[in-house]
Amino acid sequence: MKNNTFFNLFIILSIAILFRFYFLDKPEGLWNDEYVSWYIASIKDINLFIQKMLQNCHTIFYYLYLKLWMFIFPDTDLSLRISSVVPSLISIPVMYLIGKELNDKKTGILCAFLTAISSFHIYFAQEVRLYSILFLFTAFSVLYFIKSAKSPDKKNILLFILFQSLITITHTLGVIYSFFSIFALIIYLHKYTDFYKNKTTIIKYILPYTIAVILLIPTVYSIIKLNSISQFWSGFSFAKIIFNFVDYFSPIQTNIINTPNSALSFIYKDNSVKYIFIIFGLLPAFLAFIGLYNGIKQKNIILNNLLVSSFLFFLTLIILSAFHKMILITKYSAEIYPSLLLGLSFGLISVKKQKLKIAATVLFIFLNLFYLLTASDAVHKRNRREGNKIVAELIKQSRLKKNDIILLTYYDVDKFERYLDNKDQYRFLSISKYNFNYFLFDGEDYKQLQKNGKYEHIDYFREFPNSQILDFSKNFISNKMELGDRVGIVFLNTVSFLTNETIQDILSDEKKLKYTPFIFLVFSTFKNNIMYSLKDRYKIDSITDYGDWTLVVYEKIY
């Protein structure tokens, strides 16, 4: 039996390795979030490194981990991605131990296998971000939650606290998860064990950590309250809750960056039924929901305490999102994923009718595996369409000459320096998500723009041509160029895709305006007007698209 377990785990890990290493070295390079990870970890000056870590919206552990990785291994895109593959693979045998500890070896094997073929897990195994190692820490915390519930001795409780601590210093929202997880364990120990025999251990080890978590909550609130630019490129909708669940249990990842405000658009659009999403998105999510429900019905008190604490964490994120303090995208609730996979595995194993158990489990696995193996957009085959290397390639192929102007939109030039050769030969200018208020809104307060910008400046978006953008074009482009000079303008299509006609339609419809992110209006308006401003005195030399980027090169002819 022991040999069979090792063999099964070997097969599961082999499958996991294949999915995680396939197409790992993405040709588009690191995209913005990954680039931030690399940039912070790459800072040589220790004081600046600490400063940038503390300024980031996430807590510090991942940047320390990545810095250590870069000290030992090469600073290449492939190596950086492998730094996420490693904790992803380690977490699979940990998930086996979780299932085994809760129930039996069969539950453990299924739990490990579902993790190995999880598209959500695979995606972040290939991403230079904190979520792969966060999953590992959370899996260990779940393991020692179960162990502590069964045997609340010093070793189990200390290890539970250790991994809760690692969660809180890896992910800002992890403090909220730890808060609910700790209290779930305390309540379980009080209600279902001989609490008073373990009272000294609990007071000595759990209580100080609980107090520390409570003291950290105001810090988390202050970070959320900053309401940075990333928090207003999308709004809240209940559809996002559905898409979170679909991401966790189906091979179709819909909510990695953002989702539509209506789930119906994924099911029926342009007079056609979206059968692929129904079969490979909704069906496995529905099977998972039934499996989880069956797991809860078994009244395993330890599992149900884990799921209740996960639910309360997720409910908190929903509330924060509804009040526009964060975006409800799946990765932000990654801490609950090990418990959900455990609940699903336990629920499937616990189905009493053998044929039904086999049919449900096989169908769920088949839908996930079939899509992973056959779909062109399966997560391990996905390009990083916003990859920063794309911009460097576009500039390289554009034939822009020395001292030509390159106008970057949405990001500053420092986001591309890793891939740019001879950066200093061009005259770079940027209208970015960090400085647009100075150039386009007369230096208006950044936070105020985030909060009410699209309503207070509705006339700004209605005006076409926009006088302020025309002035920008004249002062920063036309007046700086001689006849024959060229300017290349880089657009990020995912934030500047609205035509002027579409913008006017949005502005005249209160509901559409409510659900259109301010950032889309800003950069779409800028794109439409900057191109209008150049149409008479310039000719278009080239328009090149690659991924989610477009480079338009103009030559001054008058």
Please give the average per-residue pLDDT across 538-543, as a whole number.
94
Same domain, 15 and 164: yes
For residue 420, list its beta bridge partners.
none
Whether 67 contacts 38, CB under 8 Å: no
Q: How confident is the model at residue 271 (pLDDT cuts 50, 70, 90)?
A: confident
Same domain, 146 and 13: yes
What is the SS3 assignment for 250?
Answer: coil
Same domain, 368 and 410: no
Residue whose tokens read 């400046």: 457
Same domain, 519 and 461: yes
pLDDT tens for each residue of 175-209: 889 989 988 998 898 788 775 566 666 666 666 66
Same domain, 232 and 365: yes
Q: Which residue has the higher pLDDT, 510 or 87?
A: 87
The token duo for 459 is 């006339």
pLDDT tens for each residue of 134-179: 999 999 999 999 999 999 888 898 899 889 989 989 998 998 899 8
Same domain, 152 and 204: yes
pLDDT tens for each residue of 69-84: 999 999 999 999 999 9
Of 251-260, 400-409, 426-435, where does mean pLDDT reach its minimum?
251-260
Helix 61-72, helix 32-42: angle, nearest 10: 70
Phi, psi (deg, nearest 5) at residue 553: -110, 125
Q: Determine the structural domain holding residue 55 and report its residue range.
A: 2-381
Same domain, 476 and 503: yes
- Containing 108, the helix (H) or strand (E) segment is helix 105-116
- Pick the last residue of a domain from 366, 381, 396: 381
Number of domains composing the chain: 2
Q: Which residue has the higher pLDDT, 450 or 474?
A: 474
Q: Which residue has the higher pLDDT, 423 or 127?
A: 127
Taking CA atoms, 242 is separated from 123, 267, 379, 441, in Å, by 19, 12, 19, 37
Same domain, 312 and 444: no
The token duo for 527 is 């794109």
φ/ψ bin of 109: left (φ > 0), alpha (ψ from -120 to 50), beta (otherwise)? alpha
Whether 232 contacts 324, CB under 8 Å: yes
- Pick the last residue of a domain from 381, 406, 439: 381
The DSSP string of 7-70 is: HHHHHHHHHHHHHHHTT-S-TT---HHHHHHHHHHH--SHHHHHHHHHHSSS-SHHHHHHHHHH
Please give the average per-residue pLDDT across 492-498, as a whole number.
95
What does the DSSP 8-state code read for residue 550?
E
Pseudo-torsion of CA 120, 121, 123, 129, nearest 10°?
A: 110
Residue type, 321: S
- pLDDT over 50 (residue 296): yes
Same domain, 225 and 112: yes
- pLDDT over 60 (residue 230): no
Q: How does the average pLDDT of the chain come out, rounded?
A: 90
User: What's the CATH number where 479 sits?
Assistant: 3.40.50
Same domain, 221 and 267: yes
Q: What is the pTM of this model?
A: 0.92
Q: How confident is the model at residue 109 (pLDDT cuts 50, 70, 90)?
A: very high
Which pLDDT score is estimated for 400? 92
Same domain, 84 and 226: yes
Which pLDDT score is estimated for 183? 86
φ/ψ bin of 547: left (φ > 0), alpha (ψ from -120 to 50), beta (otherwise)? left
The DSSP string of 328-365 is: --GGGGGGGHHHHHHHHHHHHHT-SSHHHHHHHHHHHH
- Pick the last residue of a domain from 381, 408, 440: 381
Please give the average per-residue pLDDT across 292-315, as a whole number.
96
Whether 524 contacts 465, CB under 8 Å: no
What is the SS3 assignment for 552?
Answer: strand
Could you count the other beta carbons within 10 Å of the beta carbon of residue 324?
15
Q: How confident is the model at residue 299 (pLDDT cuts 50, 70, 90)?
A: very high
Whether 201 contacts 157, CB under 8 Å: yes
- pLDDT over 90 (residue 488): yes
Which pLDDT score is estimated for 213? 65
pLDDT tens for each residue of 17-59: 999 999 999 999 999 999 999 999 999 999 999 999 888 878 8
Please give the average per-residue pLDDT across 383-409, as a whole number.
93
Same domain, 421 and 365: no
